[in-house]
Chain A
Amino acid sequence: MATILFWLFSALMLGFAVAVVFNRNPVASALSLVVSFTGLAALFVMLDAYFLGVIQVLVYAGAVMVLFLFIIMLLDLKTEQRRKLNAGVIIGGIVVASAFFAQLCAVIEAVPFGNRTFPPIQGNLQDVQNVGRLLFTNYNLPFQVVGVLLLVATIGVVILSKKELK
């Protein structure tokens, strides 16, 4: 059952990721990306990372993609008019991506214990509790630094969005 669900959600995620690349309408691309991220959240849940699965849906499929859609609508981007296709770029891109994937397969092949199944988890997994405890003990400093980063990003966005940059 878990195997079928894994391949189902993987196919969903990969299929809609391909749709992001090949859709000519930016709004359709953004909506495909929402579905792709939701499939990825399902894979996180299957890996017992419940907190990250929820965060993936809330932050990525929710906030980030709404921001993308908002900007696309704001810029009023029409469907890209067909420019003359540069065959060299397309062939080059596909060749480079395929070579990259072949290299990646060789690396995955070399991962030790890669063909082993996942060891079982004991008892009820208190996922959010474990993540929260680690976040406020071992990872307290990075957590606060990330808070500062978000503040800096907010201020930067406000300044960048001003009518005239000085």
Chain B
Amino acid sequence: MDLTLDDYLLVSGLLFTIGFAGVLLRRNIIIIFMCLEIMLNAANLSLVAFSRFRVHNGLPNYNGQMLVFFIITVAAAEVAVGLAVIVALYRARQTTHVEDITSLKF
């Protein structure tokens, strides 16, 4: 039995759901940030699967892989800035627990 596009999309969807559940369930801001990365990677997996599925002239459709390349680059920049913000927050409040940081709460 060969693999179909649905198999990859299902795995990608499961990975996205795990990341989503992590963002909802965890209260440590660093873990929430890691779960965001999981969700980005789930999207990458479905993009690469579609890219491989749309074979043109015997080659995969590379436009999807280009998008993944840019997503990885932007995610790396995002991680650097996000972690710097978390460090600044930790200096100000000595906590990474989101329920202790409620200055903007109405």
Q: Is the CB of B35 within 8 A of A146?
A: no
How near does chain B come to A73, taking the closest CB pair, in angstroms?
A: 11
Q: Chain B contact residues (Cβ within 8 angstroms of A): what range? A: 35 or more
Given A64-B37, A101-B17: A117 and B30 interface contact (C-beta under 8 Å):
no
**B contact face: mostly helix, strand, loop, or mixed:** helix
Q: Which residues of A come within 8 Å of B, CB atoms? A: 2-3, 6, 10, 13-14, 17-18, 20-21, 26, 29-30, 33, 36-37, 40, 43-44, 47-49, 51-52, 55-56, 59-60, 63-64, 67-68, 71-72, 74-75, 77, 80, 83, 89-90, 92-94, 96-97, 100-101, 104-105, 108, 111, 113-123, 125, 130-131, 134-135, 138-139, 142, 146, 149-150, 153-154, 156-157, 160-161, 165
Interfacial chain B residues near A115, Cβ < 8 Å: 4-6
A3-B1, A44-B48, A131-B62 are known contacts. Are A17 and B19 too (CB-CB below 8 A)?
yes
Which chain A residues border B101 with CB–CB below 8 Å? none
CB-CB under 8 A from A72, the residues of chain B are: 30
A135→B69 contact, CB < 8 A: yes
A67 touches B48 (CB 8 A): no
CA distance A72 to B96 in the complex (A): 10
Nearest-neighbour CB distance to chain A for B22, whole angstroms, equals: 4
A165 to chain B minimum Cβ distance, whole angstroms, is: 7
Q: Decide if the interface of chain A is mainly helix, strand, loop or mixed.
A: helix
